[in-house]
Structure 1
Amino acid sequence: MSKRKILVVDDNEDICLTIKQYLELHDYMVELAYSGTEALKMINSDVDLIVLDIMMEGIDGMELCRMIRDRVDCPIVFVSAKTMEEDKVQALSIGGDDYITKPFSLKELKARIDSHLRREERIRSNERYLLSSKNITIDLLANEVFCKGMKLPFTKKEYEIVKLLMLNKNVVFSKERIFERVWGLDSESQLDTVTESIKNIRKKIKAVDPETSYIQTLYGLGYKWDVTDEKQ
């Protein structure tokens, strides 16, 4: 099996070289770019994952990420000294898959890289078991939901609701019907649990993809999967 190629983009040469040396010890092929302009010349379909700094001269990491997403869809792991929650949310919402704050351990970085590449491999090998809509993908084998490549921390019931709505995109489900299909008629839970679960689903999706609508409320009727702007 050929080595997986990692592109590290950071204007700090010492950080680049340190990451390169460590990852090459673990059988990765690593290329370095010290600016956004240099990185754009190196990005192609052969790159398996990109490690990307945010604060760089010229084209910064956020802008570069947007440009990268027009070319390739490989995982992007941000590494940044920025620790504010809004920076992380922005980075993930524009196409990043992960975010590590500096200083970070090389061991953790490698673990994140390994995880994303395993996920990509699983998704490629199990495409027929995937449901996709806009930026949401459901892995039906693993019972996991991803938004922009990032795993969403859904409970079992939240997962079942999303799967039910995605499998029946043109169907409006009342709260009663969702409750019956997901919890069962003999459940001791209350009907309001459906409303609360959908609220939590929206909140978890919004943390990664704040600009896209997924579950539509039809007042007095129930809920349906929003197919507006969905790629055909």
Structure 2
Amino acid sequence: MTECEHRATLLVADDEPEIVEMLEEYFAGRGFRVLTAGSGQEALEQAVHGPDLVLLDVGMPRLDGFEVCRRLREHLTCPILFLTARVEDVDALEGFACGADDYVLKPFSLAVLGARVDAHLARDQCQQVRAEVRFDGDLAVDYRTRTVTVAGAPVELTRREFDIVAFLSKHPGQVFDRDRIHERVGGWENESDSQVVTEHIRRIRKKLAAAGTEHDPVETVWGMGYRWRV
């Protein structure tokens, strides 16, 4: 492996803890940074860390590998390899249709899987755009392209509205009052009064609700300010 590959970040997503533990130990021992997920939703949440390659189980409950792959492909260009116990999944070609690059049948040889990972990383030449995206259910915030989508559909936010979404979502769980948000989100031009933050957040909520978000991601903490839900 090249020096670049040794520093590569892998995302391993599988609902079988034994497989996740085995792959984490194997690839960490080879110099990779390994992110792990035990469900499809956790895989989407871990994607914010910018994996260079994803190992994705097909048969996860609720949010299966196919749907996770589709959502990841809206924002990631890195290789995605499916782990599957059913050859029928491969025969159906559904995995390739939703954006997968390769598949490995279970049970698999670690040496063979490692060789496939090396080959895909070498082919990718470490030049893929790293992820700059946060997933919260059907809501995705792509910081690189400055876009917000709900279930794949774009939400039309103004520049200032996106800046507020980006700031809060990059600090999930932290409470910020209006003055702090106004201070940290620059370029207000003629909007010098921090109370304007309240109006922008009202508009953000209205647009996200109209787009069909499962819940309001911006939570009001009464007497304190606002925070991005975790």
TM-score (norm: length of structure 1): 0.50
Q: Which AA in structure 1 matches 2:47?
A: I
In structure 1, the residue corresponding to 2:100 is in which secondary structure? Answer: coil
Structure 1 residue 81, shift from structure 2 partner: 0.2
Match of 2:110 in 1: 106
Change in 2 beyond 3 A, CA 1:123/1:37: closer
1:23 to 27, 38, 57: 27
Q: 1 or 2 for the larger relative contact order (CA 8 Å, sep ≥6)?
A: 2
1:53 to 2:54 alignment: no
1:1-232 superposed matches below 5 A: 1=3, 3-44=7-48, 46-84=50-88, 86-87=90-91, 89-121=93-125
Q: Which AA in structure 1 matches 2:79?
A: P
Structure 1 residue 88, shift from structure 2 partner: 5.7
Structure 1 residue 86, shift from structure 2 partner: 4.8
Change in 2 beyond 3 A, CA 1:29/1:23: same
In structure 1, the residue corresponding to 2:19 is in which secondary structure? Answer: helix
CA distance in 2: counterparts of 1:111 and 1:71, whole angstroms = 26
CA distance in 2: counterparts of 1:31 and 1:103, whole angstroms = 21
CA distance in 2: counterparts of 1:81 and 1:49, whole angstroms = 20
Structure 1 residue 24, shift from structure 2 partner: 1.0
Aligned residues: 124
Q: Return 5+ residue gaps in structure 1 as ranges.
A: 125-232
Change in 2 beyond 3 A, CA 1:101/1:63: same
CA distance in 2: counterparts of 1:47 and 1:103, whole angstroms = 24
Structure 1 residue 104, shift from structure 2 partner: 0.3
Paired residues of 2:79 and 2:101 also in contact (CA < 8 A): yes
Deviation per residue, 1:189-218 (Å, 9 max, x gap): xxxxxxxxxxxxxxxxxxxxxxxxxxxxxx
Q: Return 5+ residue gaps in structure 2 as ranges.
A: 129-230
Structure 1 residue 66, shift from structure 2 partner: 0.4
In structure 2, the residue corresponding to 1:43 is in which secondary structure? Answer: helix
Deviation per residue, 1:119-159 (Å, 9 max, x gap): 000776xxxxxxxxxxxxxxxxxxxxxxxxxxxxxxxxxxx
Structure 1 residue 73, shift from structure 2 partner: 1.1
Over 2 Å off, 4+ runs? 84-88
Paired residues of 1:44 and 1:71 also in contact (CA < 8 A): no
Structure 1 residue 100, shift from structure 2 partner: 0.6
CA distance in 2: counterparts of 1:52 and 1:111, whole angstroms = 16
